A and B are shown apart, each in its own frame.
Chain A
Amino acid sequence: MADHYDIAVVGAGPAGGNAALAAAQAGLRVALLDEQPTPGGQVWRDKSASILSAPVTPESRAGAALRKAIETSAVTPLSQIRVWDIRLRDDHWVLQAQRAATSQEITSKSLILATGAREYVQPFPGWTTPGVIGLAGATALFKQSLTLPGKRTVVSGTGPLVFYVASEIRRLGGEVAAVVTPNTRSQWARALPDMLGQPKLLARGALWVADLMLARVPILWGHAVAQVDGAEQVTALKVRNLRTGTDGPDIAADSLCIGHGLIPNIEAAQILGVAVRHDPSLGGWVPDAAPDGATAIKGLYLCGDGCGIRGATAAGLQGSLTGARAARDLGRDAPTSPLARWHKADRFGRAMTALSLPTPALEALTTRDTIICRCESLRCTDIIDEVATGAASTNAVKSGRRAGMGPCGGKYCQSAIATLIAAQTGKSLADVPPPTPRPPLRPVPLGQAAGAFEYDALPISKPAPL
């Protein structure tokens, strides 16, 4: 069969890219699938053709190196291909994929999922106003097209990304009105010991902050954006001191970049039967996988942020370990690398993830009128009312209110909904699992899912008993 491989890798970020390289080095036929135009994933996203002359950054350099390595390897990169379903048929994996207007099946002996993460924003009044974009989403804009979010931007959120985004906006010539972060300086100080293992990353972070301070950009520690004003477009923001609960003066801005950490994309692993557990230091619900990617299911491996938010360095290292492990399991020679470097990166990653998690003070900014589920226009009160009538699980709230039944499939609202259920029922978040995951992994046009067919060849069975 033309589309049969030894290993299919879904996701061509640092994790999937390196996994594919390691497996191909061991002599296997490897397909590397991603819906983006070129490998690189979220963090090493490629520039679009219009900005090829843009200056290099550490991300663009790392991305270029990965793309070069893939180009010169035996890996078959399949780009702009969207995987919408995966299952085990007999003894091989079958991937249903959509590419432009066509659909195809790809099969493989082993499967590596490196599906990365998505961004979380804790809902607050006005967060759906045009001009508000995600922090991580903003980095994608910079990398791909050097586009700025607006003329005068407030950058807000948890973890390190807020400083990266603010300094990138400045580097690209934009104005940062203020940096607003719920984290305090003492939280950062407490994370320092875990960060010392990655001095390069630490130094880069320090440079971002130094740049902002030199440019006299106000950095409001322990603060959060409590409200966005503006009907058609952001006009101003209200900023709240999370310790005292007092609001500062409004800040005029036409845009806001905001984010509160990342959530692993676990749906594909879940559908395939990998058990999940709640681990806040890894970003919430994560599937069980070993440092070398192995899972309880034969021939199925997981690596990168999709099995816990640890960042790009850990993702790349785990990718290499996983590709080698998968190759060994298929009877090939592949080196077993020591785990020490990965453990260091893991420690750093967990510390950053812990800093990025939304706190109760941040969750309290979600007012009763705040939109929670954008697809279905559901407000916080709708969810609270449903829980009050006895719906005590994400599945029950989804059934009763369509919360998460829209095109995003709950990818963006489920964490906020689980938090509301937990708060109201007194359960811990670990007792409020995500709703049953279902395909397609991405919405797919019906005609493409159906594929080409002849009516007379459809497997029409005999009708039900009369």
Chain B
Amino acid sequence: MTHTPTYDIAIIGGGIMGCATALRVAEGGMSAIVLDKDDLGQGASGVNAGTLSLQIKRVKLMPYALRGHHLWEQMGDAVGFAKTGGYTLAFNAREAEMLQERQTLKAQAGAPIEFVSNNALRAAEPHLTQKVEAASFCPEDGYANSSLTGQYYRGRLRDAGIAYREGCKVTDIGHSAGFLLTTTTGQIRASRVLLAAGAWLKPLAALLDVDLPVNARVNTVSVTERIPTLMGSVIGHATGLLTMKQKANGTVLIGGGWQGLGTPQDGRGTVNADAVKPNLALAQYAVPALAKARVTRSWTGFEANVPDFYPLAGALPGVPDAYVLGCVRGGYTIGPYIGQLMGDFILGRDPELPLFDPGRDFTKDTT
């Protein structure tokens, strides 16, 4: 093949960030191609716990999360969306105090969070432990099925006429009068690039001689076999170390950010039983009847962050026409929305809410 395909923008990374941005720029008239080294939605976006919870979002990201929730609701069945409401639990006085303080700030930021009595909690969730010290409730909380991310966006990209390539790793980016990408499946030219490579952002940006201070956490999720109903809403712990829901098919998904092993550079990460055990213990403490449910699988995914734990969303410093989007805490929830903002920014429009300058000083808190 002598002819190198050419696009207005090449989006590197087919997770939720890359795909959501692709849809927006294509709506705005740009020709886009999405490239992923694996299959679409097999990174963090396809293996996460799928919790759509305002109660565990950062205060400053609340407006983004609220808008994200609305988008998930619109995506509906195609992504396994369910708005169940969610309870966050404290099991001792120290946790209760923390819950009070944190949820009050989140409520002030716009999340409809209220504190609930033990009786109300028990009526709603009869299988919960009796040992709850305090609980908060948010009716907006729920979940979607992250396994469907790849299937869903593959369909959306196809319907929107957006090209995508799977099994296509970007290994080099040349930069003069546009970008020339070398990939494992040939070369591609584009006038712009968006780096949306999740936990792999650091080596990718290095191809453009930019150092992004990206770290990766190795989060773990476990699932049980199908069991009779034990809970109707999303159950969380004041520390965030437990998130749990029972899906319509009866399986219970248990997460909470417990750390597995490995790095993004060497595969998909491995489960650390020493971390899974306390995660499952916490789940069993919250819902004792879970003890008998068989765990069928535990897995890990890489979640990227920068030192101030706010997103990278904007222009890549020092490289004209290059952009970066990633490191969004609660990025599954917020992804579809912040992808739209990013798309607007690339299209030269004013985003509805501010983005997060990737060139900022990461040692300070952003405002």
Give Cα A427–Cα B167 distance, bound, in whole angstroms: 13
Given contacts A389-B154, A449-B276, A463-B102, whether A405 and B281 have CB atoms under 8 Å apart is no
Q: Is A444 an interface residue (CB 8 A)?
A: yes
Report A-chain residues with C-beta under 8 Å of the C-beta of B148. 399-400
Decide: B291 and A447 in contact? CB cutoff 8 A.
yes
- Is the CB–CB distance between A464 and B240 below 8 Å? yes
A439 to B272, CA, bound (A): 10
Could you tell me if B284 and A446 are in contact, using CB atoms closer than 8 angstroms?
yes
User: Least Cβ distance of A188 to chain B in Å?
Assistant: 41
Enumerate chain B residues within 8 angstroms of A461, measured Cβ to Cβ: 239, 241
Report B-chain residues with C-beta under 8 Å of the C-beta of A389.
151, 154-155
Flag B94-128 by CB within 8 Å of A: 1 or 0 each. 00001000100100000000000000000000000
Chain B residue with Cβ nearest A458: B278
- Are the CB atoms of A458 and B281 closer together than 8 Å? yes
Does A89 touch B at the CB level, under 8 Å?
A: yes
Binary per-residue interface labels of chain A (366-409) against chain B in the complex, 1 for a CB within 8 Å, 0 otherwise? 00000000000000000000100111110110111010011101
Instruction: Tell me which of B105, B239, B290, B297 has the highest count of chain A C-beta atoms within 10 A of its own C-beta.
Output: B297
A399 touches B299 (CB 8 A): no
Number of A-B contacts (CB under 8 A): 146
- Cβ of B283 under 8 Å from chain A: yes
How distant is B63 from chain A, measured CB to nearest CB, in Å? 15
Q: Is the CB of A407 within 8 A of B39?
A: no
A396 to B43, CA, bound (A): 11
Are B238 and A465 in contact (CB-based, < 8 A)? Answer: no
B294 in complex: contacting residue of A400, A438, A443, CB < 8 Å: A443
Which residue from chain A places its CB closest to the CB of B330 in the assembled complex? A464
Are A449 and B238 closer than 8 Å at their CB atoms?
A: no
The number of residues on chain B lying at the interface, defined by a beta carbon within 8 Å of a beta carbon of chain A, is 60
- Among candidates A87, A386, A395, A447, residue contacting B292 with C-beta atoms closer than 8 Å: A447
- Nearest residue (CB) in A for B166 is A392
- Inter-chain contact A400/B239, CB cutoff 8 Å: no
- In the assembled complex, A248 has its CB within 8 A of some CB on chain B: no
Which applies to chain A's interface (DSSP): helix, strand, loop or mixed?
Answer: loop
Question: Is the CB–CB distance between B154 and A436 below 8 Å?
Answer: no
**B contact residues around A455 at 8 Å (CB):** 91, 131, 285
- Near B by CB (< 8 A), chain A positions 399-448 give 399-400, 402, 405-407, 409, 436, 438-440, 443-447
Decide if A85 is an interface residue (CB 8 Å cutoff). yes
A450 within 8 A of B: yes
Q: Are A463 and B238 in contact (CB under 8 A)?
A: yes
Q: Complex formed: what's the CA distance from A88 to B23 in Å?
A: 43
Interface pair B151/A391, CB less than 8 Å apart: yes
Cβ-defined contact, B284 with A447, below 8 A: yes
Interface residue from B223, B274, B290, B294 paired with A444 (Cβ < 8 Å): B294
Collect the chain A residues with CB atoms within 8 Å of residue B155's CB.
389
Question: Whole-angstrom distance between the alpha carbons of A197 and B1 in the complex?
Answer: 52
Q: Is the CB of B291 within 8 A of A399?
A: no
| Beta-carbon contacts under 8 Å, B274-312 to A | 274, 276-278, 280-285, 290-299, 309
Contacting pair B276 A406 (CB below 8 A): no
**Contact B274 A89, beta carbon cutoff 8 Å:** yes
Nearest Cβ in chain A — how far from B114, in angstroms? 19
Q: Is the CB of B42 within 8 A of A399?
A: yes
Cβ 8 A contact of A460, one of B38, B58, B241, B309:
B241
Q: Which residue of B lies closest to A272 (CB)?
A: B270
Tell me how far the C-beta of A94 lies from the nearest C-beta in chain B, rounded to whole angstroms: 7
Given A96-B273, A447-B292, A463-B239, are A402 and B147 also a contact pair (CB < 8 Å)? yes
Known contacts A438-B299, A439-B298; A450 and B284 CB within 8 A of each other: yes
Q: Is A459 an interface residue (CB 8 A)?
A: yes
Contacts of B274 in A (CB 8 A): 89
Give residues in B with beta carbon < 8 Å to A.
38-42, 46, 56, 58-59, 91, 98, 102, 105, 131, 147-151, 154-155, 158, 166-167, 223-225, 238-241, 257, 261, 268, 270-274, 276-278, 280-285, 290-299, 309, 329
Q: Can you list 19 A-B pairs, Cβ within 8 angstroms, ordered by A?
A: A85-B271, A393-B39, A396-B42, A399-B41, A400-B148, A405-B147, A405-B297, A439-B271, A439-B297, A443-B295, A443-B296, A444-B294, A445-B292, A446-B280, A446-B284, A446-B295, A463-B98, A463-B239, A463-B240
